Structure 1
Amino acid sequence: MIQGLRPLAVAAAALSLAACAMLPQLSGKAPENVSPSSAAGPIPTKLSGYLSPAALDGAALLGPPPAEASLRGQADRAQYNETRSMAGSARWTQAIADNDIWAGGALKGYACAAGKEIGPKATPVLYQLLHRIELDVRTIGTPAKNHYGRLRPMIGDSQQICVPREDWMKTNASYPSGHAMVGWSWGLILSELEPAKADGLMAAGRAVGDSRVICGVHFQSDIEAGRTLASAMVARLHGDPEFQRDLAAARKELARAPAMSCPA
């Protein structure tokens, strides 16, 4: 039996190493004034999203997460263990900043990629649109999270993660990743508004999800599921007239937004 399991373990390790190699290794200066808080919670708002919970069945679309004993499940765990060695690196610091998608490094990453200021003052229509999409992520993603109830990778494990451990992490499910959904959705929408900057904008969207693996608060398959569900959600949003109106207004607003330059 042990001999029969060895090829599975080798294959899982190979999958993990390949996944780790795909995570971008940033060589630039780490973000400054980054606090390791868990400030990933929603900002106060009276807004609502564009979609109703019935707009998409995320649980049915995604299917269940990998079983722990499967090759993908083993690769998920191996990658979690591998990425603990990134603690203290510039990429680890970036992952802390990306934890807060609004006030941290995430939104700034899109602005740098677009070469335009993005925020409540410079682009209020676009900022509101992005906020409403984040609310849609909760509407569409939460039922799938609750349906599958996958525990986060650090539950029952004492290795370092990039944010403080809090009680809500024990009950807030891991699959799919909400941060990955937001990151990918914003990348898709902003790439539509600035198609010439799509490479950088989608890279920024990918980084938000990758940061969750580096942080140790999600498995890689949680990130992949988040991106899949985000893609379906954005496609569904394009059938909503109100979203289409806001998107058209945001395109005009972004075209005249102040230029922004960021250090390489």
Structure 2
Amino acid sequence: MMRKQFYQLQLGTAIVLLAVMFSCAQQAPKEQPVITSLSKEIKEIHAGILEGYLSENEIPNSLNLVPPPPEEGSVAFELDQEIAAMYVASNDEARREQAAKDADLHFPEAVDAFNMVLNTKISEANTPHLYMIMRRTLADAGLSTYGAKNHYQRKRPFMVNNTPTCTPNDEAALRKDGSYPSGHTAIGWTWALILSEVFPAQADVILERGKEFGISRNVCNVHWHSDVVAGRMMGAAAVAKLHANADFMIDLKVAKEEIKALMK
């Protein structure tokens, strides 16, 4: 099989698995097949998931960028197990409730993960360009994790420790989706880095929220600590690639102007 054909097959598999991750808790709302953005017309790559900014050749390849997941018996894997056990034993119900909310990648609910710390709230009506950026970069960041996910097919913590998650309705779908690296973390960290550019005065609280968004996957017992660390790496890689993309930079500039106008 030609290299390009193999990559397209891998990308197709990743889109299906990203859709599983996106819609495992509930049925995604129906969307129009084509949505107009400032830079171009945007198509859906799957129900409820818009195409990203990056082409198949531009999406960072996690298989090249992150090391293999920790081997059983290694110090790193022992740390993974210790952190997983700590969150399983935790009685912090408020943190588990927030982790369950952070698991929801549907829009408009997904923006609430960052609206909780922002002075200017993101919404389709209030900040349409920034809202569109968040919707599109979900695919860029999420797909960047699937080279390694598909290759390693790492089992998730709840599959190993046989203890509950904070999103029980997701568990059947998550069993089919590799644990390493964390797609949710990559998406959350991508959003945090972008939002810290749009709201520079709030960068610290935004980045802290982005960090906690990833840690929510540990709290939920669906990702290991090392999955989350590698997920942040892929989020940063996606943002680096996005800054070389003309359409993204056009939309980012307008989103910044959009927020400045609201804050006057």
TM-score category by the smaller chain?
Answer: 0.7 to 0.9
Match of 2:152 in 1: 148
Q: 1:100 aligns with which of 84, 94, 104?
A: 104
Name the one with the larger strand percent: 2
Match of 2:64 in 1: 60
How many positions carry a matched residue from both structures? Answer: 223
CA 151–71 in structure 1, closer or farther in 2 if over 3 Å, else same: same
1:75 is paired with a residue whose SS is helix
Quick one: distance in 2 between partners of 1:232 and 1:194? 20
Quick one: distance in 1 between partners of 2:123 and 2:162? 37
Match of 1:49 in 2: 52
Quick one: distance in 2 between partners of 1:200 and 1:190? 10
Quick one: distance in 2 between partners of 1:57 and 1:94? 30
Quick one: distance in 2 between partners of 1:51 and 1:44? 24
Deviating beyond 3 angstroms after TM superposition, the runs of 4 or more aligned structure 1 residues are 40-45, 101-106
CA 102–200 in structure 1, closer or farther in 2 if over 3 Å, else same: farther
Q: How big is the shift at 1:253?
A: 1.2
2:145 is paired with a residue whose SS is helix
- Normalized against structure 1, the TM-score is what? 0.78
RMSD in angstroms over aligned alpha carbons?
A: 2.3
Match of 2:178 in 1: 173
CA 41–245 in structure 1, closer or farther in 2 if over 3 Å, else same: farther
Match of 2:261 in 1: 256
Match of 2:14 in 1: none
1:230 and 2:235 matched: yes
Q: In structure 1, give the amino acid aligned to 2:178.
A: A
2:88 is paired with a residue whose SS is helix
CA contact (8 A) 1:175 1:222 kept: yes
CA 199–239 in structure 1, closer or farther in 2 if over 3 Å, else same: same
Q: How big is the shift at 1:196?
A: 0.9
Q: In structure 2, give the amino acid aligned to 1:207.
A: E
CA 196–99 in structure 1, closer or farther in 2 if over 3 Å, else same: same
Quick one: distance in 2 between partners of 1:138 and 1:94? 21
Quick one: distance in 2 between partners of 1:132 and 1:104? 13
Match of 2:25 in 1: 39
1:119 and 2:105 matched: no
Q: Where do 5+ consecutive residues of structure 2 fail to align? A: 1-22, 32-43, 45-49
Quick one: distance in 1 between partners of 2:236 and 2:162? 34
Q: How big is the shift at 1:258?
A: 7.0
Quick one: distance in 1 between partners of 2:27 and 2:187? 13
Percent of aligned pairs with the same amino acid: 35
CA contact (8 A) 2:61 2:145 kept: no
Quick one: distance in 2 between partners of 1:145 and 1:197? 33
1:118 is paired with a residue whose SS is coil
Match of 1:74 in 2: 78
Q: How big is the shift at 1:200?
A: 0.8
Quick one: distance in 1 between partners of 2:74 and 2:206? 34
Quick one: distance in 2 between partners of 1:229 and 1:190? 17
Q: In structure 2, give the amino acid aligned to 1:146.
A: N
Match of 2:138 in 1: 134
2:71 is paired with a residue whose SS is coil
Cα displacement string for residues 2-38 of structure 1 (whole angstroms, at most 9, x for unaligned residues)? xxxxxxxxxxxxxxxxxxxxxxxxxxxxxxxxxxx95
Cα displacement string for residues 160-182 of structure 1 (whole angstroms, at most 9, x for unaligned residues)? 21111532222200011011001
Quick one: distance in 1 between partners of 2:79 and 2:235? 23
Cα displacement string for residues 20-58 of structure 1 (whole angstroms, at most 9, x for unaligned residues)? xxxxxxxxxxxxxxxxx9538876552310112322221
Match of 1:157 in 2: 161
Match of 1:32 in 2: none
